[in-house]
Amino acid sequence: MPNWIKTFIKLKGKKDELDMLESMMTYRYAGENDDKEQNFFNSLVPMPCKLPALEWLYEHWGTCTEAEELWFCRNEAELLELAFETAWTTPKEIFAAITKQFPSITLGGYYADENLGDNCGLIVGSLNRVETIKMGDESDAAVQFSEKVWDVNVKEFFL
């Protein structure tokens, strides 16, 4: 069972580019048994058929899962906010693909592992360049940061 990473991102850019990106988030397809599934990452960076899938996913998406629990909000024409969960890592390569395909878009946000205090930090990007700024693993500051991302309080579990 994977550790889940929660990611929150704000994207700013031209209205037409954000419109196109938003349409990719709402795109759904019929899979086996006509199930409806989220297909956001695959619409940005399509996975070719007949490949060692797991290896390809990590190389091109930065994670082994599609965006789960995808939420997005568009209150302004040039601002799009989104949140989702992925297994094991935040999808840095997906963010690079966004900034490459949509050059006006800049992004900034944060992510945290459900293993509070581990694998968490900030993410910023523009023009096909994305950087993550990791917090110190399991430091008090990293645990407090992760608690805010996951909306939990570790001390409540030990009362």
DSSP one-letter string for the chain: -PPEEEEEEEEE--HHHHHHHHHHHH-EEE-GGG-EEE-HHHHHSPPPSSS-HHHHHHHHTSSSS--EEEEEEEEETTEEEEEEEEESS--HHHHHHHHHHSTT-EEEEEEEESSTTSSEEEEEEETTEEEEEEPPTT-HHHHHHHHHHHT--HHHHT-
Domain definitions of the chain by residue range: 4-157
pLDDT at residue 158 tops 90: no
Chain centre to alpha carbon of residue 91: 5
Q: 155 versus 7: which is more confidently predicted? A: 7
- pLDDT tens digit sequence for 53-74: 899 999 999 999 999 999 999 9
pLDDT at residue 37 tops 70: no
Report domain 4-157's class. alpha beta
- pLDDT tens digit sequence for 78-124: 999 999 999 999 999 999 999 999 999 999 999 999 999 999 999 99
